């Protein structure tokens, strides 16, 4: 029997079996062929998470078909098949596994280069045909040659380190890498033009972006050193396929190793059946190790995303990496925002997150996102996530800032979230994470001190102070079957604020008469879930 209460994880491509173990029993796993558009659009409707590789196009049409999708996980590196801005607009987190297959991809590029240089596939084929043709296959040595790397990122660097062992000179083109970093790696940074002119072999390791698409065309190939070997194990479309095939046929390019194609899957390409061109069907990441890593990495990210937690590999969440010290404050700060949304349910004009004490030494850029998730919880109907919180703030005209103070007289670290409403009213709520057990506490609401665990349901009553109010409230709650777990009162002059933590959510039909019976000016209920 299907347990419908478990989140649905939709797997749209073949992933390593390890992904199922890593996902565990807490989710319901469903499968669909991501290249079958109609089936994907139907299946994604009920999905909480969607897992893909490079063959499933996850675009605005897919997001429009979803009802509760929280995360798209790409079990690999390249994200050119996922429309990240559309995901962000829909509050859907996008994660990838950025290091899972980089070694495999680099090794595949090396393999392609050697296969082309020594014509291994063609020589293999002759023997399969029972022909002994030694004189037909005269290769080239790599030793002493210049190898150009286009895109000196993670895979480009791994490729460079590996090919260096063949005694080559390394040059690279990557306008986003500093010459100092390249020098550390023993690589000379040059312009694309110079790389083309000097290289005996070129390996491409770029992401596919509007800037890199078609970077190498007929013009660039014509400028290259005659007889150059070109390897592309990055993405189809970075090199013009017609132009490359022509250049190999003419001898301008000595040979090419190609793993990726502008259209995939494909059984037709100008690059097929051209002597000197070695092709593989997008196998760069197809190793047991890379697939295991990709599967387990994304499964971990999916579990975090489904739990509403911060995901380190998310690509569309502002705030960067979240340190160990900051992590426990994420749920607390969201709760502070939730209290503010109970105090003033309309969107504020500004939100300030003030961080005091030890925490102020950390990178806390992610905390405003957590605060906004709480602040907007009653303002918008759609889910508010780490992903779409900044966009919602912009759409609603809410300015957001972080203030840091090293001084914190009463707590090791203290976070205050302050919201200013359109009419100028300001509400503020402070909290801390206390002790080894990391208990989340509310310690101040609008200048009044409390010390209350931030969990379950909390009721806030503002009323004219007089004897007996606590008794009346307790009795009426008791009659409604609600148990008080903790209670605190803050008095100033004739005014008092009572904060109660109770054992269950209390609806307005119960709460409003209680407020009326004690003459409360405001009665609020905050559910921390």
Catalytic residue set: 235, 264, 282
> Pairing mode, if any, of strands 169-173 and 188-189?
parallel
Site for ligand 3PG contains 56 (CB under 6 A): no
Q: Looking at beta carbons only, is 278 or 367 nearer to ligand 3PG?
A: 278
In this structure, the number of other CB atoms found within 10 A of the CB of residue 474 comes to 16
Cβ within 8 Å of residue 68, ≥6 positions away: 46, 47, 48
Q: Of these partners, ligand 3PG, ligand NAD, none, which one is at the site of residue 53 (CB under 5 to 8 Å by kind)?
A: ligand 3PG
Site for ligand 3PG contains 15 (CB under 6 A): no
Site for ligand NAD contains 78 (CB under 6 A): yes
Stretches 27-35, 227-235, 424-432, 454-462: which one binds ligand NAD (CB under 6 A)?
227-235
> Pairing mode, if any, of strands 448-453 and 439-445?
antiparallel
**Footprint (CB under 6 A) of ligand NAD, residues 358-387:** none
Region at 319 (left for phi over 0; alpha for psi -120 to 50; beta for the rest): left
> Pairing mode, if any, of strands 457-464 and 522-527?
antiparallel
Site for ligand 3PG contains 151 (CB under 6 A): no
Q: How many residues does the chain have?
A: 529
Q: List the beta bridge partners of residue 71.
A: 49, 93
Size of the site for ligand NAD (CB under 6 A): 30
Site for ligand 3PG contains 299 (CB under 6 A): no
Residue 298 to residue 11: CA distance in whole angstroms = 11
Residue 529 to residue 515: CA distance in whole angstroms = 23
Residue 529 to residue 526: CA distance in whole angstroms = 9
Site for ligand NAD contains 213 (CB under 6 A): no
Q: Of these partners, ligand 3PG, ligand NAD, none, which one is at the site of residue 237 (CB under 5 to 8 Å by kind)?
A: none
Q: Looking at beta carbons only, is 264 or 485 nearer to ligand 3PG?
A: 264
Q: Closest CB to ligand 3PG belongs to which residue? A: 76
Site for ligand NAD contains 460 (CB under 6 A): no
Cβ within 8 Å of residue 389, ≥6 positions away: 368, 369, 372, 373, 376
Q: Looking at beta carbons only, is 191 or 449 nearer to ligand NAD?
A: 191
Q: Closest CB to ligand NAD belongs to which residue? A: 153
**Footprint (CB under 6 A) of ligand NAD, residues 276-305:** 282, 284-285
Question: What angle, 0 to 180 degrees and rounded to 10, lies between the N-to-C axes of helices 154-164 and 102-117?
Answer: 50
Q: How far is the CB of 253 from ligand NAD (least distance, A)?
A: 20
Q: How far is the CB of 323 from ligand NAD (least distance, A)?
A: 23
Site for ligand 3PG contains 373 (CB under 6 A): no
3-state DSSP assignment of residue 442: strand
56-to-12, 29, 281 alpha-carbon distances in Å: 7, 17, 16
Numbers of helices and strands, H then E, in the chain: 17, 22
Are the C-beta atoms of 302 and 23 separated by less than 8 Å?
Answer: yes
- Which positions from 163 to 192 touch ligand NAD by CB under 6 A, shown as an x/- string? ----------xxxxx---------------
Q: Looking at beta carbons only, is 101 or 119 nearer to ligand 3PG?
A: 101
Q: How far is the CB of 109 from ligand NAD (least distance, A)?
A: 8
Site for ligand 3PG contains 53 (CB under 6 A): yes
- Which residues bind to ligand 3PG, rule: CB under 6 A? 53-54, 76-78, 101, 282, 284-286
- Which residues bind to ligand NAD, rule: CB under 6 A? 77-78, 101-102, 105, 151-156, 173-177, 205-208, 211-212, 233-235, 259-260, 282, 284-285
């Amino acid at each position: 029997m299907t347990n419908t209460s478990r989140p649905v994880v939709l797997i749209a491509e073949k992933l390593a079996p390890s992904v199922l173990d890593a996902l565990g029993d807490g989710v319901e796993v469903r499968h669909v062929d991501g290249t079958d558009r109609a089936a994907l659009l139907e299946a994604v409707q009920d999905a909480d998470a969607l897992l893909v590789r490079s063959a499933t196009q996850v675009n605005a049409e897919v997001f429009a078909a979803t009802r509760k999708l929280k995360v798209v996980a790409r079990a690999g590196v390249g994200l050119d098949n996922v429309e990240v801005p559309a995901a962000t607009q829909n509050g859907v987190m996008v994660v990838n596994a950025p290091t899972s297959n980089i070694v495999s991809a680099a090794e595949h590029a090396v393999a392609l280069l050697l296969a082309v240089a020594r014509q291994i596939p063609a020589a293999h084929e002759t023997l399969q045909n029972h022909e002994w043709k030694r004189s037909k296959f005269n290769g080239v040595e790599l030793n002493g040659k210049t190898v150009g790397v286009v895109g000196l990122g993670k895979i480009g660097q791994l490729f460079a380190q590996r090919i260096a062992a063949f005694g080559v000179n390394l040059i690279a083109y990557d306008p986003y890498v500093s010459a100092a970093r390249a020098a550390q790696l023993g690589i000379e940074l040059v312009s694309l033009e110079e790389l083309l002119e000097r290289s005996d072999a070129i390996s491409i390791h770029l992401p596919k972006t509007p800037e890199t698409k078609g970077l190498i065309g007929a013009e660039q190939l014509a400028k290259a050193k005659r007889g150059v070997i070109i390897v592309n194990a990055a993405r189809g479309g970075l090199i013009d396929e017609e132009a490359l095939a022509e250049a190999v046929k003419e001898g301008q390019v000595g040979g090419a190793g190609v793993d990726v194609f502008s259209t995939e899957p494909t059984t037709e390409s100008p690059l097929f059946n051209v002597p000197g061109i070695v092709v593989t069907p997008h196998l760069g990441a197809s190793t047991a190790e890379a697939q295991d890593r990709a599967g387990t990495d994304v499964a971990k990210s999916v579990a975090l995303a489904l739990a509403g937690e911060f995901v380190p590999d998310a690509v569309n969440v502002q705030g960067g990496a979240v340190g160990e010290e900051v992590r426990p404050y994420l749920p607390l700060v969201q709760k502070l925002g939730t209290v503010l949304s109970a105090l003033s349910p309309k969107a504020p004009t500004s939100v300030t997150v003030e961080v005091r004490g030890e925490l102020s030494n950390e990178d806390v850029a992610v905390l405003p996102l957590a605060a906004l998730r709480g602040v907007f919880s009653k303002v918008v109907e759609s889910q508010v996530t780490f992903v779409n919180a900044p966009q919602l703030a912009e759409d609603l005209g809410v300015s957001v800032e972080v203030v840091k103070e090293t001084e914190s007289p009463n707590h090791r670290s203290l976070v205050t979230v302050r919201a200013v409403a359109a009419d100028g009213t300001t509400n503020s709520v402070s909290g801390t994470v206390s002790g080894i057990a990391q208990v989340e506490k509310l310690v101040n609401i609008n200048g009044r001190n409390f010390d209350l665990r931030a969990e379950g349901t909390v009721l806030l009553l503002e009323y004219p102070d007089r004897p007996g109010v606590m008794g009346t409230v307790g009795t009426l709650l008791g009659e409604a079957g609600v148990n008080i777990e903790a209670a605190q009162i803050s008095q100033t002059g004739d005014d008092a604020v009572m904060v109660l933590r109770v054992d269950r959510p209390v609806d307005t039909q119960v709460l409003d008469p209680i407020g009326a019976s004690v003459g409360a000016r405001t009665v609020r209920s905050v559910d921390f879930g």
